[in-house]
Amino acid sequence: MRRILISTVESYAEEYANCITAEKKNGLANWRKMPVDRLRELYYTLKWQGEYWLADYVLANRQYLKEIVLLTPDDFNKFHEKYFRWADDDLEIEIRFHSGTAKFWELVVWALNYEGVRDDVMPYYVKKMHLSTCSYCNAQYAITTGEDENGKRWAMYQLDHFKPKSKYPYLCVSFFNLQPSCANCNQHKSTDEAEFNLYTNDKTKLEPLHFKFTPDDIIKFVTSGDENIDIILDGEKRIVDSQKRLFKIDLVYKEHVDVAKEALVRMYINDKYYRRQLQSSLAYLFPNGVEAPERFYWGNYLHPNEVHRRPLSMLIQDVVGYPWKTK
């Protein structure tokens, strides 16, 4: 729910792009073919079947592969209009491939090896960027679990496509189109397009959303313990409306009122002496100085750049940064 400035992660994006657009496997030994090879195979299959216009789609995907992988959200629509819009009505066409048939968009996703990228490549960058929580709700970890055909349990980061892969298959492995998501938000969003995207080039648009409380609720809670507190999602109207419509954010946070109340109590007490005592008497537990005792006291990360590290950190940060707090 807080955006990431693209310039701060460009080096990761470039490294990622070099990895998956390479001709050689470069450590991806379990990949039988790289995306460039799969795209070539799909291109010739389509030409052999006489699907020349779809072959051209795949050819463009291969020719501009690195540019596509590094495409930023600001350029998604312009790039689509220029190179791929003409095929929008053909994505559902059934194509004979290998020993069966599949929809054209599914074959493009296969050719780009989205599953391989999801399982073998992107988790490294998600960890490097500390994107542990859902981009859309910040209320859950973006981790899903399952079991393979041999009964072996697994856990992995779940990724959502800001631009859905069924409508924009060529973007299915684009770095800035992949957003960590909890299972709940991913399921609710499905093939819809959300208004909130995780990455931006604009420093003024890093925080399009925030939580707030009504002054009456705060006064009643602090003075009489009245627990009827509403957590209100505020910010850019189109994004707020989208978050409520797709992800039911207002309903999700109704279930986390207890966290907000605890933070309000800590804010009311605001025991800086206690936190200084923690820092001095247990310094060996807090090698990073002041920051760690603050996180211990509040139970979450307080720096805006760390909002993706732990669920509900945005809510806590909005409580801590609320203008009525005791100085």
Whether the CB-CB separation of 313 and 133 falls below 8 Å is answered with yes
| CA 87/CA 76 separation, integer angstroms | 16
Please report where in the chains the tokens 């999801």 appear, as a residue.
118
What does residue 153 show for φ and ψ, rounded to 5 degrees? -80, 145
Say if 10 falls within a structural domain: yes
- Residue 55: domain span: 4-200
For 116-145, what is the mean pLDDT?
A: 93
Q: Quote the pLDDT of residue 265.
A: 84
- Residues 239 and 91 occupy one common structural domain: no
| CA 17/CA 313 separation, integer angstroms | 30
Q: Quote the pLDDT of residue 141.
A: 95
- Residues 121 and 214 occupy one common structural domain: no
- Residues 194 and 212 occupy one common structural domain: no
Say if 325 falls within a structural domain: no
More confident: 275 or 192: 192
- Residues 143 and 126 occupy one common structural domain: yes
Q: Quote the pLDDT of residue 286.
A: 65
Whether the CB-CB separation of 112 and 38 falls below 8 Å is answered with yes
Q: What pTM was computed for the model?
A: 0.90
* Structure confidence by residue, pLDDT tens digits, 43-100: 999 999 999 999 999 999 999 999 999 999 999 999 999 999 999 999 999 999 998 9
Which residues, in sequence order, are CB contacts of 30 under 8 Å at separation 6+? Answer: 116, 120
Q: Quote the pLDDT of residue 326.
A: 40
Q: Quote the pLDDT of residue 105.
A: 98
Q: Quote the pLDDT of residue 290.
A: 56
- Residues 26 and 108 occupy one common structural domain: yes
Say if 326 falls within a structural domain: no
**Domain boundary pick from 167, 200, 233:** 200
Say if 111 falls within a structural domain: yes
For 111-137, what is the mean pLDDT?
A: 94
Whether the CB-CB separation of 183 and 164 falls below 8 Å is answered with no
- Residues 282 and 176 occupy one common structural domain: no
Helix (H, G, I), strand (E, B) or coil at 80: helix
- Residues 305 and 160 occupy one common structural domain: no
pLDDT at position 308 over 90: yes
Q: Quote the pLDDT of residue 281.
A: 72
Number of domains in the chain: 2
| CA 58/CA 41 separation, integer angstroms | 10
- Residues 149 and 186 occupy one common structural domain: yes
- Residues 216 and 178 occupy one common structural domain: no
* Structure confidence by residue, pLDDT tens digits, 228-252: 889 999 999 999 999 999 999 999 9
Q: What is the mean pLDDT of the chain?
A: 89
